[in-house]
Chains A and B, each alone.
Chain A
Amino acid sequence: MIRLTVNGQAREVDAPGDKPLLWVLREDLNIVGPKFGCGVATCGACTVHVDGEAKRSCVQPLSDAAGKSIVTIEGLGDGKLHAVQRAWIEQQVPQCGYCQPGFIMATAALLARNPKPTDRDIDEALTNICRCGTYGPLRRAVHRAAAILGGAP
């Protein structure tokens, strides 16, 4: 049994220590917001927060997550919409939507450590892949989320 906190709840998982966190979430804990895209940490669709840091959960062994606090798209807003999610709706970012939980989680982590990122900061932090090409509205939404977190209405 490996213990961890997921979206604020203490959970116990009976799974091998080398099972990636992504599959523990999706198969053992029925949390399917984090998506499988590449399996090699290159597309970012599986991004979750591990102790507040954006991590590509498809390559994070469960054993490394033991005792840590995991937040997924389902728990990001803590019951209401997070500023990043609000900005995403305002800017109508998603198309197919599959990559968006990963982008939203990566953005929330970026803004937590860098409240006013430049375009260059955004390029460096958000290396996820979106095949629908939502990059234009997405960049606007990152800036908008920064503004909301900074107190803009």
Chain B
Amino acid sequence: MKWTRRKTIIGGVLGAGFVGIGWWFAHERDRLGSRTLFNVGKDQVGLNGWVKVSRDNSVTVAVPRAEMGQGIYTTLAMLVAEEMDARWDQMKVEDPPHHPVYRNIDILVDGLPFSPEQTGTFIDIARWGMGKAGGVLGVAATGGSSSTRDGYHPMRVAGAVARELLLRAASRKAGVPVTQLTVVDGEVRRRDGARVASFGELVDAVGDLQPVMPPPLKKSADFKFIGKPVARLDVPAKVNGSATFGIDVRLPDLLYASVRHAPTVGGSLKGFTARGGLPKGIEKVLSIPGGLAVIGKSWWQANQFLDSGVDIAWDAGPHAKLDSASLWKQYEQSLEKGDAALTRTLGTEAKPDKAQIVEATYRAPYLAHATMEPMNCTARVEGGKVELWMPDQSPSLMRMAAAKAADVSQADVTVHTTFLGGGFGRRAEVDLVREAVACALAMPGRPVQVLWSREEDMRNDPYRPMALARWRAEIDTSRGQPALAGVAKRQVAQSPADQFPNRNIGLPRQGKPEGNAVENPPYAFPFYKLESIVADGPVPVGFWRSVGHSHTAFFDECFLDEVAVALKKDPFAYRRELLKDKPRHLKVLETAAKESGWGSPLPAGLGRGIALRASFGSIVAQVAEVSLTAAGLRVNKVTCAVDCGPVVNPAIVRAQMESGIIYGLSAALYGEITLADGAVEQANFTDYNVVRLADAPAISVHIVDSGASFIGGVGEPGTPPIAPAVANAVFAASGKRLRDLPLKLGKAA
């Protein structure tokens, strides 16, 4: 973990600026939390802010991160169980209350414009400073593939502290010196093996004992859980139907609301008339931020009533003529003439006497998140207090939004985070809170569950930005063997990093490109130039699984293939050449190639493509094997290699790679949100198709252990390489270059 004494010293050097923010945060004690913090019940004892033990011998871990499928409940509980020497079947997790110890520091640190694995004094200082700011902002959030990295050290410390406290409690209770006691499989024993007490039997014995910091942590050779494919804690509830998602929240006197938003981007509600008044079961029709809500005793009835019982007049707003063709035209103009918000060069520009130019333009469309669980939020406002139940990726942001919407202080807002039926970045947005609080204010004391239809969900998303890039390579042909002289890219995209803070927190727009869309390539290009142009436009864009990597990996890895072909080199061999000084990347690339059978002959109509992308601190390479038949493009097989640093649960790492691949493949093959007459054209899975079981390739995942200590993320890094791997495979199979997403065979160049 990075929070070392060294950083505290560096902090001192930085002086007054950071002192004002609060130097105390460098101490790990400040992420431990007090023994009373974690909703301690009467049959429980809190051991610190993250761990409590119950009389029934269960150990409950505070997991202030959203479980959206990425397995974070299990991963974080494993870290605590490891250091406590607990039994896996006694572990439970619970959503803790709002408190600064639960914030996610690394998610903000990752907001800096460096690749996570980059180090250096300046970068470390900047990270340290952002960590401080994270402490002050107090953002509990799940995203940026950061939760395991953020929790790895604090959770282990919490487990170790808890174990030591239980040992002292047992010592006091049994009258045995603590040095003669140890913990085995969730119970305190004498060193000779005799049982002293279960954890649960020590609930009353802890008394006023206080944690001792810093505790010794296990050596990795002694790990019982970390590194093992431990069974997920959330699976039983997810196969018997008892898992509670946001849409499943049931409260006394619950009302439901369905909403309609202006059909056009930037449109607004002009007026409405409920024809023939309100039928039995419908309580209210009201204007809310962004649209119209109908509140009633049945969501189905409320939704039907919006369709057939209310005349709604919309003001189409200033973008009523907006369509995809005009947006592309605007992007093309920016690509030619737009000022770059960021220009970066690496290496030295050569001026070869004779050069071959390779140039290609790539496009990526808007994409919807399309989580399986449509957007929803349940809110109750009573006596100046607001309570929310929702599947959210940041209770901190939801709390801020609810406080503002209800005009109360943040201390008067409680957020209960349920299971998330998918997140992918969509559920960090606060729009649902604004709508649910508006409905709840209209029905004082009664909880109102706002649920969007799939059509509203599809049409009111902060989309993955549309993006356009032109790559250019200069190949020096003046001396014998042609050689790459340099590459340059101009890239146009709207920026979620520019829009998100403005839309969700009200911070001013900065016009900055989104950080991971402009990360430096790992390849040793003799010269590299990037010009990133931030497009402005009314279409909302947001964080979509792997964010900027999702389109830039397609642009970069497809073009690298084109350069390899121009140099008459094998795409894998050429990447190896450019990565010769990057041993981790090289090993990942080589593993994917070897495991895929790269180079072995394939029947006609089949092809393999390779792509590599480092993102969120992890390196992933994928080889896709495709077949082109009369029925179209089919991805048969994907071989994936990943180096994510230390692995907590290899089964979850594999699952996340598979998940990222399928999510990215849906986008590569089908995903496209388009606009016509100011409105989004797609509405449901019928016209926004996704990969189903029959289209799903066989996937094999290979975890590469390079001995790196940096904990890379796994939720997102599986997504970026798949689209370019498939496009490159189509070229290998057919000689056709597909430069536009989604990949359509008819459009091949």
Q: Say whether A36 contacts B374, CB under 8 Å.
A: yes
B643 within 8 A of A: no
For the complex formed, measure the closest distance between the CB of B689 and the CB atoms of chain A, giving whole angstroms: 9
Q: Which residues 78-137 of A sit at the B interface, judged by CB distance below 8 A?
A: 81, 85, 88-89, 92-101, 104, 122-124, 126-137
Assess A133 versus B421: contact at CB under 8 Å? Given A89-B236, A126-B693: no
B176 within 8 A of A: no
B232 within 8 A of A: yes
Q: Which residues 15-35 of A sit at the B interface, judged by CB distance below 8 A?
A: 15, 19-20, 23, 27, 30, 32-33, 35
Identify the stretch in B240-248, B480-488, B705-713 within 8 Å (CB) of chain A at 4 or more residues. Answer: B240-248
B70 contacts across to A, CB distance below 8 A: 95
Identify the stretch in B35-43, B365-373, B437-445, B588-596 within 8 Å (CB) of chain A at 4 or more residues. Answer: B365-373
Interface string of B493-508 (1 = CB under 8 A from A): 0000000000000000
For the complex formed, measure the closest distance between the CB of B269 and the CB atoms of chain A, giving whole angstroms: 23
Assess A19 versus B300: contact at CB under 8 Å? Given A74-B240, A98-B373: yes
A128 contacts across to B, CB distance below 8 A: 692-693
Closest to A45 in B: B372
A36 and B685 CA atoms in complex are apart in Å by: 13
Q: Say whether B454 contacts A133, CB under 8 Å.
A: no
A81 contacts across to B, CB distance below 8 A: 239-240
A129 and B666 CA atoms in complex are apart in Å by: 11
B69 contacts across to A, CB distance below 8 A: 94-97, 132
B453 contacts across to A, CB distance below 8 A: 39
Q: Contact size class for B?
A: 35 or more
For the complex formed, measure the closest distance between the CB of B699 and the CB atoms of chain A, giving whole angstroms: 6
Q: Say whether A133 contacts B696, CB under 8 Å.
A: yes
Q: Say whether A95 contacts B372, CB under 8 Å.
A: no
Please pick, from B301, B373, B665, the residue contacting A35 in the complex, using a CB distance under 8 A: B373
Q: Say whether B693 contacts A135, CB under 8 Å.
A: yes
Q: Say whether A137 contacts B655, CB under 8 Å.
A: yes
B150 within 8 A of A: no
B14 within 8 A of A: no
A42 within 8 A of B: yes
B71 within 8 A of A: yes
A138 contacts across to B, CB distance below 8 A: 693
Please pick, from A20, A30, A131, the residue contacting B371 in the complex, using a CB distance under 8 A: A131
A37 within 8 A of B: yes
Q: Say whether B685 contacts A43, CB under 8 Å.
A: yes
For the complex formed, measure the closest distance between the CB of A43 and the CB atoms of chain B, giving whole angstroms: 5
A135 and B690 CA atoms in complex are apart in Å by: 13
Q: Say whether B239 contacts A104, CB under 8 Å.
A: yes
Interface string of B241-264 (1 = CB under 8 A from A): 111110110100000100000000
Q: Say whether B247 contacts A36, CB under 8 Å.
A: yes
Q: Say whether A85 contacts B372, CB under 8 Å.
A: no
Q: Say whether B454 contacts A38, CB under 8 Å.
A: yes
Q: Say whether B247 contacts A35, CB under 8 Å.
A: yes
Q: Say whether B686 contacts A72, CB under 8 Å.
A: no
A27 and B70 CA atoms in complex are apart in Å by: 29
A104 and B584 CA atoms in complex are apart in Å by: 40
Q: Say whether B659 contacts A134, CB under 8 Å.
A: yes
A130 and B374 CA atoms in complex are apart in Å by: 13
Please pick, from B232, B241, B451, the residue contacting A36 in the complex, using a CB distance under 8 A: B451
Please pick, from B297, B421, B454, the residue contacting A96 in the complex, using a CB distance under 8 A: B421
Q: Say whether B239 contacts A40, CB under 8 Å.
A: no
Number of A residues near B (Cβ < 8 Å) is: 53
B661 within 8 A of A: yes
B423 contacts across to A, CB distance below 8 A: 96
For the complex formed, measure the closest distance between the CB of A83 and the CB atoms of chain B, giving whole angstroms: 12
A121 and B217 CA atoms in complex are apart in Å by: 51
Please pick, from B67, B372, B694, the residue contacting A130 in the complex, using a CB distance under 8 A: B372
A139 within 8 A of B: yes
A77 within 8 A of B: yes
For the complex formed, measure the closest distance between the CB of A21 and the CB atoms of chain B, giving whole angstroms: 11
Q: Which residues 413-438 of B sit at the A interface, judged by CB distance below 8 A?
A: 419-424
A99 and B420 CA atoms in complex are apart in Å by: 11
A4 contacts across to B, CB distance below 8 A: none
B410 within 8 A of A: no
Q: Say whether B299 contacts A27, CB under 8 Å.
A: yes
Closest to B68 in A: A96
Q: Say whether B694 contacts A127, CB under 8 Å.
A: yes
Q: Say whether A89 contacts B372, CB under 8 Å.
A: no
For the complex formed, measure the closest distance between the CB of A121 and the CB atoms of chain B, giving whole angstroms: 11
A65 within 8 A of B: no
For the complex formed, measure the closest distance between the CB of B531 and the CB atoms of chain A, giving whole angstroms: 34
Q: Say whether A40 contacts B422, CB under 8 Å.
A: no
Q: Say whether A23 contacts B663, CB under 8 Å.
A: no
Q: Say whether A42 contacts B240, CB under 8 Å.
A: no
Q: Say whether A42 contacts B693, CB under 8 Å.
A: no
A73 within 8 A of B: yes
User: Which of A32, A73, A131 neighbours the largest number of chain B CB atoms within 10 Å of its CB?
Assistant: A131
Please pick, from A96, A129, A139, the residue contacting B690 in the complex, using a CB distance under 8 A: A129
Q: Say whether A72 contacts B241, CB under 8 Å.
A: yes
B732 within 8 A of A: no
B346 contacts across to A, CB distance below 8 A: none
Q: Say whether A73 contacts B241, CB under 8 Å.
A: yes
Q: Say whether A127 contacts B693, CB under 8 Å.
A: yes
B298 contacts across to A, CB distance below 8 A: 15, 19, 23, 27
Interface string of A7-21 (1 = CB under 8 A from B): 000000001000110
User: Which of B67, B237, B371, B655 neighbours the largest number of chain A CB atoms within 10 Å of its CB?
Assistant: B655
Q: Say whether B690 contacts A92, CB under 8 Å.
A: no
Assess A39 versus B454: contact at CB under 8 Å? Given A73-B240, A95-B71, A100-B239: yes
For the complex formed, measure the closest distance between the CB of A82 and the CB atoms of chain B, giving whole angstroms: 9
Q: Say whether A23 contacts B684, CB under 8 Å.
A: no
B698 within 8 A of A: yes
A132 contacts across to B, CB distance below 8 A: 69, 372, 422, 659, 662-663
Q: Say whether B422 contacts A77, CB under 8 Å.
A: no
Q: Say whether A89 contacts B235, CB under 8 Å.
A: yes
Please pick, from A20, A89, A97, the residue contacting B419 in the complex, using a CB distance under 8 A: A97
Q: Say whether A77 contacts B240, CB under 8 Å.
A: yes
User: Which of B67, B69, B237, B651 neighbours the largest number of chain A CB atoms within 10 Å of its CB?
Assistant: B69
A133 and B545 CA atoms in complex are apart in Å by: 13
A15 contacts across to B, CB distance below 8 A: 298
Q: Say whether B684 contacts A129, CB under 8 Å.
A: no
Q: Say whether A43 contacts B239, CB under 8 Å.
A: no
A38 contacts across to B, CB distance below 8 A: 454, 684-686
Closest to B453 in A: A39
A123 contacts across to B, CB distance below 8 A: 693-694
A85 and B663 CA atoms in complex are apart in Å by: 25
B578 within 8 A of A: no
For the complex formed, measure the closest distance between the CB of A24 and the CB atoms of chain B, giving whole angstroms: 9
Known: A94-B239, A129-B692; 11 extra A-B contacts, CB below 8 A, are A32-B250, A36-B451, A72-B241, A73-B241, A85-B239, A94-B235, A96-B371, A97-B234, A98-B372, A132-B69, A132-B659
**29 pairs, CB–CB < 8 Å, chain A vs chain B:** A27-B298, A30-B250, A32-B247, A35-B247, A37-B372, A37-B373, A38-B684, A42-B685, A42-B686, A74-B241, A85-B240, A93-B239, A94-B235, A94-B239, A96-B372, A97-B234, A98-B421, A99-B372, A100-B238, A100-B239, A127-B692, A130-B662, A131-B424, A132-B663, A133-B662, A133-B663, A134-B658, A134-B659, A138-B693
Which 8 A-B pairs rank lowest in CB-CB distance, beginning with the nearest? A133-B662, A33-B241, A98-B421, A97-B238, A95-B69, A96-B69, A73-B241, A123-B694
